[in-house]
């Protein structure tokens, strides 16, 4: 993702200790190798010798998969083609998550809609079991007619959501002012296709039309430049400036000025909800990070 530029900061001192005895893992996707279909009674399928995965939903059940590996930081890409036609009531979720009551999570969720209406791309960040950091967007293309790349850059300083290489959201590490940031818990990659017609489309007013089932979403070209968590250690090798390479530059990447302009363009023209402007919801005061201009 060439639109990022490297910057080194206080984490450079600490990161080699956290990621000691390690190797950088770059995984270019074969779904048999990288993922397990975990539920759906055959509604999830790996096709074309591992090059394509599909999830389906019908009235009886949805389906889902998860990564074989856990990761602690990564630059993760997946191409998705979403449910076409009348997808109202359906949700395609693609996310990273840890386990336990104080879990961390980084979410893409695609909320289906009536034919001709746009999908809503819902994003959220959880840290230590606390979320409520939603931003929602329309897309500038039809995500059902072709595959598009949805990416998460997760490093010790930032979480950056991107679509086809265009950043749409940045969540900055602001632990210095008391905002929790996901950096200590390894996460797996998950995806699921499921029925959520009690809330997903127009607040639940539009229900799933089961005559359109089965609903199917498709996945291909998974790629992870990431640190695999195994046996209590995360693995990325040295991250000192003298040894930085193109393979691990993402560990210290920030948005450069051109990428910041793209982010501003998306948020000005395609953002439809931002928790940091919801004064009704947060009547007692906006979350602390909302006061930081660079967080947007």
Q: Is pLDDT of 28 > 70?
A: no
Three-state SS letters, the chain: CCCEEECCCCHHHHHHHHCCCCCCEEEECCHHHHEEEEECCCCCEEEHHHCEEEEEECCCCCEEEEECCEEEEEEEEEEEECCCCCCCCEEEEEEEECCCCCCCEEEEEEECCCCCCCCEEEEEEEECCECCCCEEECCCCCCCCCCEEEEEEECCCEEEEEECCEEEEEEECCHHHCCCCCCCCCEEEEEEEEECCCCCCHHHCCCCCHHHCCEEEEEEEEEEEEEEEECCEEECCCCCHHHCCCCCHHHHEEECHHHHHHHHHHHHHCEEEEHHHCCCCCCCCCCHHHHCHHHC
Summary mean pLDDT of the chain: 88
pLDDT at 183: 94
Q: Are 285 and 168 in contact (CB under 8 A)?
A: no
pLDDT of residue 237: 52
Q: CA separation (Å) from 170 to 78, 138, 175, 255?
A: 18, 17, 15, 9
Model pLDDT for residues 84-119, shown as the tens digit of each residue:
999 999 999 999 999 999 999 999 999 999 988 999
Q: Exactly one of 79, 109, 254, 289 is catalytic; which is it?
A: 109
Residue 16 has which token pair? 């080699």
Using the predicted structure, report yes or no on whether residue 24 has a pLDDT greater than 80.
Answer: no
pLDDT at 36: 98
Tell me the domains of the chain and their CATH numbers. Answer: 4-295 (2.60.120.200)
Task: Give the residue with greater pLDDT, 42 vs 2.
Answer: 42
pLDDT digits (tens, 9 = 90+) for 266-295: 999 999 999 999 999 999 999 999 988 545
Distances (CA, A) of 20 to 153, 235, 236, 237, 253: 21, 7, 8, 6, 20
CA atoms within 13 Å, Cβ hemisphere of 155: 25
Cα–Cα distance for residue pair 96/132, rounded to 1 Å? 16
Look at residue 231 in the predicted model and tell me its pLDDT.
Answer: 78
pLDDT at 238: 44
- Of residues 70, 79, 105, 289, which has the active-site annotation? 105
Map tokens 């949700």 to a residue. Answer: 91
Looking at the whole model, is its pTM more than 0.85?
yes
Please confirm, yes or no, whether 105 is among the known catalytic residues.
Answer: yes
> Tell me, what's the pLDDT at 29?
66
Average pLDDT (129-153) is: 97
Average pLDDT over residues 164-183: 96
Amino acid 95: pLDDT: 98
């Amino acid at each position: 993702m060439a639109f990022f530029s490297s910057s080194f900061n206080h984490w450079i001192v600490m990161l080699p200790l956290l990621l000691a005895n390690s190797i950088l893992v770059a995984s270019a996707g074969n779904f048999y190798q990288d993922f397990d279909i975990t539920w759906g009674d055959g509604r999830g399928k790996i096709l074309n010798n591992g090059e394509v995965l599909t999830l389906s939903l019908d009235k009886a059940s949805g389906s889902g998969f998860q990564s074989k590996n856990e990761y602690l930081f990564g630059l993760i890409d997946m191409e998705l083609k979403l449910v076409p036609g009348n997808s109202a009531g359906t949700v395609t979720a693609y996310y990273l998550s840890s386990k336990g009551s104080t879990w961390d999570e980084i979410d893409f969720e695609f909320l289906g809609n009536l034919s001709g209406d746009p999908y809503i791309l819902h994003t959220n960040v959880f840290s230590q079991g606390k979320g409520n950091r939603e931003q929602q967007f329309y897309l500038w293309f039809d995500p059902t007619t072709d595959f598009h790349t949805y990416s998460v850059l997760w490093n010790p300083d930032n979480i950056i959501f991107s679509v086809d290489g265009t950043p749409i959201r940045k969540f900055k590490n602001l632990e210095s002012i008391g905002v929790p940031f996901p950096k200590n818990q390894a996460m797996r990659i998950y995806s699921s296709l499921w029925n959520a017609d009690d809330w997903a489309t127009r607040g639940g007013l539009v229900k799933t039309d089961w005559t359109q089932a089965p609903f199917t979403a498709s996945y291909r070209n998974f790629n992870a430049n990431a640190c695999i968590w195994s046996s209590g250690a995360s693995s990325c090798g040295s991250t000192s400036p003298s040894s930085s390479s193109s393979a691990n530059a993402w560990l210290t990447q920030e948005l450069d000025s051109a990428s910041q302009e793209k982010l501003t363009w998306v948020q000005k023209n395609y953002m439809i909800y931002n928790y940091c402007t919801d004064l009704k919801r947060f009547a007692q005061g906006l979350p602390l990070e909302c006061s930081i201009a660079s967080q947007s």
